[in-house]
Amino acid sequence: MSPIPRRRVFALAAGAYILATLPVRASTARVAVNDNGIAIDGYDTTAYWSISAPRHGVSSHVVNWAGSDWHFTSAEDADTFAATPEAFAPQFGGFCTRALSFKKIINGDPEVWRIYQGKLYLFAQPIGGRKFDKGQDAMIAKAQAYWDTLN
């Protein structure tokens, strides 16, 4: 076994120090947005109730709520959301409910959703929705407990 060169030891020590001094924070974003800053990938969140299906919104019908832009398919849908956003916005800001129950933060896929007790829940993958169907209250409680720890 050969000795580790001094430069490598120094570089490793400096890197470890820098990582150790970085603040560790939970995600402060309270809404799942895409790379363009659009909430839930631009889907019209009122559509889950009006047509019982996901539907893409358009950039000409936007409501800014909770620090993010939400897209809608019509001015009527945008107005409906603007009047009572809490009634239509997905729980946990559109992050995956199942992932949150495992203390992970992953954007939900607007194509994988459930409405349970009048609230919209998104999941990153279809298995999340299937697991949710087998124990909604337990998954929600775990997700909520973690959500409440986030800033």
- CA pair distance 52, 21, nearest whole angstrom: 48
Contact 27, 96 (CB under 8 A): no
**Among the listed residues 73, 85, 80, 83, the one whose alpha carbon sits nearest the alpha carbon of residue 120:** 85
pLDDT tens per residue, range 50-83:
999 999 999 999 999 999 999 999 999 999 999 9
Please state the pTM of the whole predicted model: 0.80
Write down the domain spans for the chain. 40-147
pLDDT tens per residue, range 138-148:
999 999 999 99
Structure tokens given for 14:
């400096």
- CA pair distance 33, 27, nearest whole angstrom: 12
